Amino acid sequence: MLEELGEVIHGSEKEREAIRVLREKFGGFETKLHTVATKEWVIRHQRVLVNGRKVGRFAVLPYTKGSAKGKVGREVLALPFPDHPFKVKDYYRIALDQGYEALLLYEDKARRIAVPDPKIPAISLPFKPEKGDEVEVEVESELRDSSSYNLEVIIRDGKEFFLVGAHVDHWLSGYHDNLLAVNLLLNFDVELRNHGLKLAFFSSEEGPRCCTGSMQFPKHDIAFMVSLDALYPNRVVFSTIPELWWLSRHFRLKRVEMPSPFSDSFPFLLSGVPSVLLYNDDLMPFYHSDVDLPDPRDSEFAEGVKAGLKAMLRELDEKGVKDLRWTRVVPDYVNLTTQFSY
């Protein structure tokens, strides 16, 4: 449904349009819009030339900008894309430390991977530039203050609610991060005896600070929360506090792990709301790329996730979460996880 919008950058008009489309989809339910103070990344101009020929397919790494002109290996550093997207920041630091004017990362696709403290333009290319190639890069972009919305949908009323959410912003094609999760929730419902049920569609998960939308979502009446993000067939990573690991038995698992601080579930956990993140890092070869496209296995996989969600929520509804106690966790951003705080 939202595929027609193309890339949906946080804080943009396209993100607001996605929220409007979703609100219309849930026209038979009570919905609420919650304003989100965020930022929009605006690319005003972008151009890459290699040996005088204009490159048609490439991606600027958020939130880099600037211009450079020179040869690969002299003014411009060209490196193969690393074996994990989160290592891109290390390659960018190498380019800065060694005085290069631009960084080119190449593989068989184009990606958007954000880098910290951007000072020179960085480009993802779907081909390898050769040493000595003449390169010109021009990027005019800015991060500007913006406002967007979180959409709250009340599926079943109650005094306290179970909440299932997914973010709507995405880089490039973004099918599994995060259109698949959004589509999964379009017809999601489960009958609960002791809790109401809400759905949430979050703004601005991708940046410039992770999870800006979910940080600003009202949490006062939420008893339990599940975030669906970067789902990819045919299994899930079950990320939460150890006291909830037993619920993982409702899913086909890759592994169980401590909570991720880079997820829409984490702001809820920090607010005292037990929460679970379902994702799958089998997506990494396509993560934030222009080839994150539908897979023939998606439909069956999504139905399995939906069935697991329903079973988990029903069981937790019967057992209750009010008396759940857990050891406080703190983010470990270096290792992309959390640690216990004693």
From first to last of the 342 residues of the chain, give the pLDDT tens digit. 799 999 999 999 999 999 999 999 999 999 999 999 999 999 999 999 999 999 999 999 999 999 999 999 999 999 999 999 999 999 999 999 999 999 999 999 999 999 988 999 999 999 999 999 999 999 999 999 999 999 999 999 999 999 999 999 999 999 999 999 999 999 999 999 999 999 999 999 999 999 999 999 999 999 999 999 999 999 999 999 999 999 999 999 999 999 999 999 999 999 999 999 999 999 999 999 999 999 999 999 999 999 999 999 999 999 988 778 777 888 777 777 888 775
CB 202 within 8 A of CB 164: no
Q: Alpha helix locations (H) across the chain?
A: 13-25, 88-97, 180-185, 212-215, 266-270, 298-319
State which amino acid sits at residue 12. Answer: S
Residue 326, class by beta-carbon neighbours within 10 Å (0-12 exposed, 13-18 middle, 19+ buried)?
A: middle
For 155, the enclosing helix (H) or strand (E) is: strand 134-156
How far apart CA 186 and CA 119 sit, in angstroms, is 41
CB half-sphere exposure, 154, CA atoms < 13 A: 14
d(CA 36, CA 64): 24
- How many CB atoms within 10 Å of residue 6? 12
Diameter of the chain measured on Cα atoms: 68
Task: Output DSSP code: residue 8.
Answer: B
Cα–Cα distance measured from residue 61 to residue 289, given in angstroms and rounded to the nearest whole number = 11
